Amino acid sequence: MAEEENELLGKVKEGIMPAVSSEPKKEVEADTKEEITKILKELKQKMQDIDRITKELEKKRNELNKSSPTHTKKLLEEIKVPPLEVIK
C-alpha cells in the first residue's frame, strides 16, 4: 500500500511540476528561498507603510479632537459643507 502511494505521489509531482522535478533539489530550494525572502521584504515594507499611515492618522485625529467648535466650523466652511438647516 505504501509503495502504491509513493508511486502515485511521484506521478502527481511529475504531472504538476515537470519542470521543477527535473531541476536539482538544491536549485529548487534556493529559488523558493529567494521568493520567500522577496515576499517577506515586500510585506515588511508594507507593514512599515501601514505603521507610518496609522501614526499620521492618529496625529491628525488628536489635532482634530483638540480643535475648538469655532475652528471646526471654520474648517467646515472652508470645505463648503452646507449648514444642517439647509440639509434638512
DSSP labels, 58-80: HHHHHHHHHS-HHHHHHHHHHTT
More reliable by pLDDT, 64 or 4: 64
Residue 69 lies in a domain: yes
The pLDDT of residue 23 is: 58
Looking at the chain, the whole-number percentage of residues with pLDDT higher than 70 is 62
* pLDDT tens digits, one per residue of 31-73: 899 999 999 999 999 999 999 999 999 998 888 777 676 777 7
pTM value?
Answer: 0.45
More reliable by pLDDT, 13 or 43: 43
pLDDT band at 30 (very low <50, low <70, confident <90, very high): confident
Residue 6 lies in a domain: no
The pLDDT of residue 37 is: 93
Note down the domain range covering 45.
Answer: 13-87
Q: Which residue has the cell 502515485?
A: 8
Domain count for the chain: 1
Residue 22 lies in a domain: yes
